[in-house]
Structure 1
Amino acid sequence: MRKTTSLLLASVVAMSSSTALVGMALADDISFILCGDAVDAKHQQYINDWNAANPDDKVVPEVVGWGQCQDKVTTLAVAGTPVDIAYVGSRTLKQFALNDLIVPVPMTDEERASYYNFVPETVTFDGTQWGIPVAFTTKALIWNKGLFEAAGLDPESPPTTWAEQQEYAKTIKEKTDADGFGLVAKTFDGTVHWFLHWVYTNGGSVIDADGNITLDSPQNLEALTALKDIVPYSEEGPTAYEQNEVRAMFLDGTIGMMHIGAGIVPLIKETDIKWGLATLPLGPDAKGPGTLLITDSLAVFKGTGKEDKAIEFGKFFTAPDRQFAYETQFGLTPLRPLPQVDELVAANDYWKVFIDSIEYGGPEPLFTDYIGFQNTIIDMVQSVVTGQAEPAAALTKAAGELEQYK
């Protein structure tokens, strides 16, 4: 029996009459939903190469905007007219799997070992892998060297601990016209990611491999307390800002530090800001450099009759050399430690900070109702940021609420 959750029910309610077929795929084709505005040129080449070698199992892609992509994939699956393979956020895989909507993606030990540590774990639960990683991001600290210098701080020495991060943010706030730290706390999924930066830089976790909620821990209390303590030195009203909005403030030179992915680099190179990147500052219980490991993946849907061929295509599409060529084009963290990565780091040394923290990173937690999990964490963070709740009480409350979503 399917365990239907609120997200899936909402998708059925939202279902429109346009769900019968995907794109112009014929019965013998492999339908493929990609998220975005257009099929990237490299991805189109990979599809063309597959189609040339597999004329009886051609892949027909359909592009759906980021805002609607996940909903459409879910709606098609629940309606019984699933796409063969689709680009999804890995955080949704557990929910799809427990609702019997997708099939496992078997990988050999060699295939799993080809990825960086913990990347396969972002698509795995109960010992089964449910997706093929297709995009990967990690986080680092970026700082404005000019604002450091104006505040009397060493522009070449970023903070390495939470305590230093708060001290430097306070100094910038008090001695310049800028805010010391950019804090993300809007009602948006980025707020969950932001909190997880703190969790994974202090050896914390949210849910363990056995499905036990581990949110209410000393490590996470330290994380939520540190987040609260830096609020006075951040931009005013952080609950109004998501990551891209805070990033825009940093690019305008009005914020001294923030946590960010590698996608900021081409943008900041267009400014006059002197900047640096370092691994995220660490909490008192950290075991090493940490980061949130976010992957998107390819999910293969059940009941199409083309599951095996879709898995074969997914592995072809994300083969190491193809995947690396795509990653470097879009500033994504490499999924695998290929020889080309060493060349990438040698040419652009900032990449080292995004790779070094993988070893101690942690995944987006997998829940049966990710939206429920997301809303619980956002409510927790916002209650602390706005002073409506103390960290200990907010953490305990959130941990209790998460039991229904695991």
Structure 2
Amino acid sequence: MLATIAGLAGTTGLAGVAQAEDINIILCGDTVTPVYLELFAEWDAANPDYKVVPEVVGWGQCQDKVTTLAVAGTPVDIAYVGSRTLKQFAINDLIVPVPMTDEEKAGYYNYVPETVTFEGTQWGIPVAFSTKALFWNKDLFEEAGLDPETPPKTWEEQLAFAKQITENTDAAGFGMVAKSFDATMHWFLHWVYTNNGSVIDADGNITLNSPQNLAALTAFQEMVPYSEEGPTAYEQNEVRAIWLDGGLAMMHCSVSCAGRGTEAGINWGVAPLPTGPEAQGPGTLLITDSLAVFKGTGQEDKVIEFGKFLTSPENQLAYELSEGGLTPLRPSAEVDALVADTPHWKPFIDGIEYGGPEPLFNDYIGLQNAMIEMVQSVVTGAAEPQEALDKAASELELYK
């Protein structure tokens, strides 16, 4: 998406953009959530010279539009973006830093600030958070002769359960995501972060080719025979659809699958993601989306103030609870009450402590493509895990 920015940015002249008192915000989706409408009205009442003007752009076009405007020298004030894009925006001088105080950082769950941090500076404001857990179909467990109330806790158990289910029912044991979509990289990172692995360290060193990740990719390979047929044809929503139809016994999913499973009549359970041999505790991939403040509007300081208002602890929690499928960004008494009242939330919170952030790369499309190719080559049998890791690690050096 930003592959041509380096060539374009030098020709657009971001300075001198006409100042506008409106704060223009691009949001991704279909509609503006009612919580945001209330917060926009509250902001407008307190800041009559800086009225919020939202624009909603569909998920498929949202990132492209934000990028095109920035490169053209007519940036929107603030926009909802995937945090994975922040490093590219920052390197190409298209956004401004949004530094966090130590107190602000401490207010978030573990590693959330790292999802927006590049070279010690924060470049966005976290606004949406996703963690994953293991969902299992209790009826399929029982049909296969497994205890329906006992999910797998380790990769070894997960593999054994998937094999037993595949061999003793008409369903596949495990839902594997391996299509040419970014979710394939995310799915593999679940395994990385449940075995104390990483992709890149704080100093920018590529750490993909490690014993922990070799074990993860090997475990991924071993699961293929007990997954849905032809996993390279399936992305996460398609795998979820098979699970909702009763065709899968286990899958990794966000908390949104709880409600959907109940609506579909699935007798489901949810537990922390099974862990590998090097795990220090339950883990998960920590994905955030962020609000990025774009450079060249002439009112960046006021826009940062607006962004921090929108994502203040109280306002952010109201937004998260209204959305239903978002993991809270910050611990709080309200979150503790949520877990107590709705126990299926617990695995999504418990995985955070030993989870890991989505890696920030200069070329995140290059990162995704290298990781997807690595996973697919192993899933299809075109390469063995060590060979695939070697190749991907070498390619990632070009994209960091």
C-alpha separation in 2, matches of 1:293 and 1:42:
24
Identity rate of aligned residues, in percent? 72
Q: Deviations over 1:83-130 (max 9, x none)?
A: 110000000001100111111102211111111111111111211011
C-alpha separation in 2, matches of 1:177 and 1:102:
52
Say which SS state the counterpart of residue 353 (structure 2) adopts.
helix
Q: Quick check: 1:73 aligned with 2:36?
A: no
Say which SS state the counterpart of residue 405 (structure 1) adopts.
coil
In structure 2, which of residues 5, 19, 38 is the aligned counterpart of residue 8 of structure 1?
Answer: 5
Number of the residue aligned with 2:15: none
Number of the residue aligned with 2:354: 360
Distance of aligned partners of 1:396 and 1:288 in 2 relative to their CA distance in 1, 3 Å threshold? same
Q: Quick check: 1:209 aligned with 2:202?
A: yes
CA drift of 1:26 comes to 8.4
Number of the residue aligned with 1:386: 380
Number of the residue aligned with 1:301: 294
Q: Deviations over 1:115-173 (max 9, x none)?
A: 11111111112110111000001000000000000000011110000000000000000
In structure 2, which of residues 305, 308, 322 is the aligned counterpart of residue 329 of structure 1?
Answer: 322
Alignment of 1:212-227 (within 5 A): 212-227=205-220
Number of the residue aligned with 2:54: 61
C-alpha separation in 2, matches of 1:178 and 1:134:
37
Alignment of 1:152-191 (within 5 A): 152-191=145-184
C-alpha separation in 2, matches of 1:357 and 1:69:
30
Structure 1 runs of 4+ off > 2 angstroms? 7-12
Say which SS state the counterpart of residue 100 (structure 2) adopts.
coil
Q: Quick check: 1:252 aligned with 2:249?
A: no
Number of the residue aligned with 1:404: 398
Distance of aligned partners of 1:86 and 1:216 in 2 relative to their CA distance in 1, 3 Å threshold? same
CA contact (8 A) 1:33 1:87 kept: yes
Number of the residue aligned with 2:283: 290
CA drift of 1:5 comes to 5.6
CA contact (8 A) 2:177 2:183 kept: yes
C-alpha separation in 2, matches of 1:10 and 1:228:
40
Number of the residue aligned with 1:134: 127
CA RMSD in angstroms, aligned pairs only: 1.6
Q: Deviations over 1:212-236 (max 9, x none)?
A: 1100000000000000000000000
CA contact (8 A) 1:7 1:369 kept: no
Number of the residue aligned with 1:347: 341
Q: Once structures 1 and 2 are overlaid, which stretch shifts more, 330-339 or 145-154?
A: 330-339
Which ranges in structure 2 are unaligned for 5 or more consecutive residues? Answer: 13-17
C-alpha separation in 2, matches of 1:69 and 1:217:
36
CA contact (8 A) 2:19 2:297 kept: no
Question: Which residue identity does 1:320 align to in structure 2?
Answer: P
TM-score, normalized by length of structure 1?
A: 0.94
Which ranges in structure 1 are unaligned for 5 or more consecutive residues? Answer: 16-24
Number of the residue aligned with 1:151: 144
CA contact (8 A) 2:6 2:92 kept: no
Q: Quick check: 1:281 aligned with 2:278?
A: no
In structure 2, which of residues 303, 310, 313 is the aligned counterpart of residue 320 of structure 1?
Answer: 313
CA contact (8 A) 1:186 1:238 kept: yes
Q: How many equivalent residue pairs?
A: 392
CA drift of 1:342 comes to 1.0
Number of the residue aligned with 2:366: 372
Q: Deviations over 1:251-292 (max 9, x none)?
A: 111100000000111111112221100000000011111000
Q: Once structures 1 and 2 are overlaid, which stretch shifts more, 134-143 or 321-330?
A: 321-330
